Structure 1
């Protein structure tokens, strides 16, 4: 399962956002504590330097749901801490990879 998010980032916060949301960032460090996390991809728009997508890869829906339950407090804390970096954050959806 892959979860896709779209972010519009404050121009003065682009570097900090990339550090926090990239493959070595704060979110990945939290996700890596959970069983079933497979990695994160950070994509930047070629038309807007402050528009990004993240793709969080999980073994399956159950792994993600288990993570959200076990790490709910840490997730909320990190989300609140990094909220100042963005203008908007939109969950595009969860997608299953086809064979």
Structure 2
């Protein structure tokens, strides 16, 4: 079983490349997540229509692994979130899911 966390984003016009560099599976967020045990990777889904939502899917071995990441890397998480302010544009947490 894999714990997946899904977010949707609408980056500001003209910042899509910067967004992709930060939020892709090799981007800034993924590099932070990789420091934590139980991280299984991130997938970035690009919209097929202009101005539609982008999606990220962050996968963890379990919800407990994600909670441990939040506990152990909360300061770094908030710092990166502040550093990337404005790159993500509109963002919403879609939800947490369990995947077979």
TM-score, L = length of structure 1: 0.94
Q: Structure 1: which 5+ runs fail to align?
A: none
2:95 matched to which residue of 1?
Answer: 93
| RMSD (Å), alpha carbons | 1.1
Instruction: Give the CA deviation at 1:45.
Output: 1.1
SS across alignment from 1:71: helix
Q: Secondary structure at the match of 1:10?
A: coil
Aligned residue pairs total 98
TM-score for the superposition, normalised by structure 2: 0.93
Q: CA deviation at 1:50?
A: 5.8
Quick check: 2:25–2:42 contact (8 Å CA) kept in 1? yes
Alignment check: 8 A CA contact 2:10 2:51 kept: no
The Cα of 1:48 is off from its aligned counterpart by 2.7
- In structure 2, C-alpha distance between the alignment counterparts of 1:86 and 1:61, rounded to whole Å: 24
Moved over 4 A (4+): none
Residue matched to 2:68: 66
Q: Is the 8 A contact 1:20 1:27 kept in 2?
A: yes
Match of 2:31 in 1: 29
Aligned to 2:41, the other structure's residue is in SS state strand
C-alpha displacement of 1:87? 2.3
Distance 2:8 2:50 in 1: 12
Single out whichever of 77-86 and 64-73 deviates more from structure 2. Answer: 77-86
| Structure richer in helix, relative to its length | 1
